[in-house]
Structure 1
Amino acid sequence: MMANLTSEMLLPPNSVRSLQMYPFARRTMEEKVQVKELGPDKPDLVISQQTKEKSKVYKRSFCRSWFERKSWLTGCGVANALFCFPCLLFKSDKCDLTWTQSGQTDLKHLSERIKKHERSSLHMENCVKLAVLGKISIAAQLDDGHRVAVRRHNEEVDKNRHILSKLIDCIKFCGAFELALRGHDERDSSENPGIFRGLVDLMASIDRDLNDHLESRAVNTVYEHKADLLTCCETIRNSAEFDGPTKREAGGYVRMLEDDAFCFFLALFHQIMPHVDMLYNQLQKRNIDSVYISEIIQRFIESMQAIREAVPSLAEGQEDRRPEHEPPTKKRRTLGQDRQHHLATEVCDTIMCHAKERFSFTKHLVSATLLQGDLFPQHSQTFPDSALDTTVEAYPSLDKARLKTELSMIYGNEEFRSCSGALALYQVLMENNLQDTFTETVSLLSILITTPMTTSESERCFSTLKRIKTFLRNAMGQDRLNALAMLSIEKKLTRDIPDFNTRVIEKFATQKDRRAKFLYK
């Protein structure tokens, strides 16, 4: 009796024999955490099986590589059998007894039974329980999604404050050195636009956010101040205080602002450009939410369709708002109302056609709805089979049956319902080592978070390349070009690393012997 008790006490706490005699549910939290840290017991098993098929005799032996391929597998050296470690810890009446009590010894059908067990929702649930043991709950981890949304808002505020801060710095510089803010000629084509404008342009050339801010649309400004611009240009044209070239340019602007075709298309694009700017801003975000892209494109197309249908009334409105000026001395050729309507309709059709073509592949957007946290309660009641079919059609490498089982388990678990997006769910699964349990879900998440929803990222890279590899630096090598492009594209990352400069100095100092001293003794 004492010998048996002594042998039981000598058993490792994570062994199958110890867990069967002293169930995991009866252990203290410290003992549970210790078992989790030890992981599955992997003893040397002597399992052999001899089978006969078509007058041939086959002998199979257990290979330890199964422990490496399946991290949840554990073995019992006494029973010479295989068990499921998570199910053995959190076993219930619904668990398969062959994985928790008697053990698996059938090597012929082992692969098939492992796949079947992995697809069971009970096994996935036990793996989740083991992963979060001793940690904060998954729901608490997914609450970080709210902080992500706050961070996005604060990033936009930081961007606006950054732009304003740069302009303030330019004003402070001019004030400190007693320099004039306004120049003689501040037009874009001017060679001497003034010190303040030159400072702003210099900062914009090295600051992407400020450059994007300055490259704003001029259509709305011209449309809203057309009457003031016309009055100003007429005053310059008729005044004797200005030189000849200035008066001729002002006269050209007057003729343009009085032209029927120009006014018509100015009014047309005044209605179009706000929708384009809104769509552009939504698609240019680095942390873009793929779930709502389809709705954004649909709203944009509907807006363009409404503008297209309102083209006739747009021309009538322009007739009513036309200013009463003296008729021009020269007769100008006009397009005609029918031609204007035709061109305006063609403009709207072209915009809608390009929007549809560039976003014609929307299956990845449908796939994103499978992992939208606020839809999990609805999906738990009625599984989204149509979205699953579309996802498997778009990505045939996914196992439909197993993906459905994994998603059903996620939908039914209340801890996952606070998920704020694909990236948050992916991070939680990876941090808790659940990638082997939710293999198909992780594969789908990897596709969704790495597939660009728009071309803004690649366009941003080309814009960076244009600024770095200029005509005067055309002989730059590939390594240097890659390094400079990475510094430009990932400037926020380098800014957020607290010891970035220190790491660079350490690497620079250890590459070879330097004349200057960089290393401490």
Structure 2
Amino acid sequence: MRKFLVPRACIENVSVVQSEAEVEEAPPNVVNEFNSNEIVRDPGLRKQIYEYALNIQDQVRRAYILKGPTQPILENFPGTQFAREPRIRAFCKSWFKSYTWIEYSEFKDAAYCFHCFLFKQPGRVEHFGYEVFTKGGYKNWKSASNGLKDHVGGHGSMHNSCMKHYDDYNNQRQSIETQGMAFRGHNESLTSLNKGNFREIVDWVKSNNEQVRDAFDRCAKDCTMICSDIQKDFATSCAHEVIK
């Protein structure tokens, strides 16, 4: 019988191993509330966009876009001595004109990409400098003439994809703001002839989509869409679907 029995110590060890294997790594902490004090100018000190909760990421992007890329004009940028290179190299302020997307961190003495910071997809690092230009910072000034071009890449590069998202985002915002197209209307009641752009668009979608119309009709009293917070959440969700 002894050969069929398992020592008690072995059983205890197995249970310990199983319990440790079943423990999943805790998800990274995310910021759930927007705080304007966390909109940091220096790109070397910023949180990444994905470190914010999904429902406030667009608000964070908008805050950074309003400030624009960080491009300090210093009298002298710090120099770096590279191995086997007698000449001291440094960041060149003329790059701000050549590459409108480039940012400079005084804290890290490194270059960053404003557009990739705003619209990069976490985990996709196959493109040259995709993470370097958003997290660690690029400071290989000796090879910068090629390094900056390599980061931009070809037509379908990650950088150019982020640039397109940036342009689309700005065009969307300008089409509403510069043309005076406010979401809210002065009278958003069901009998109003002009309920405002948001509810007029919703009504148009309802008239062209039976499923949407049925969903609204079933919840007619509870789904009025006149709360500003609901309208903003709805618009944010649509924006995420468009730019993801």
The interval holding the TM-score normalised by the smaller chain is: 0.3 to 0.5
Select the structure of larger CA radius of gyration: 1
- In terms of fraction of residues, the more helix-rich structure is 1
- TM-score, with normalisation over the residues of structure 1? 0.22
- TM-score, with normalisation over the residues of structure 2? 0.45
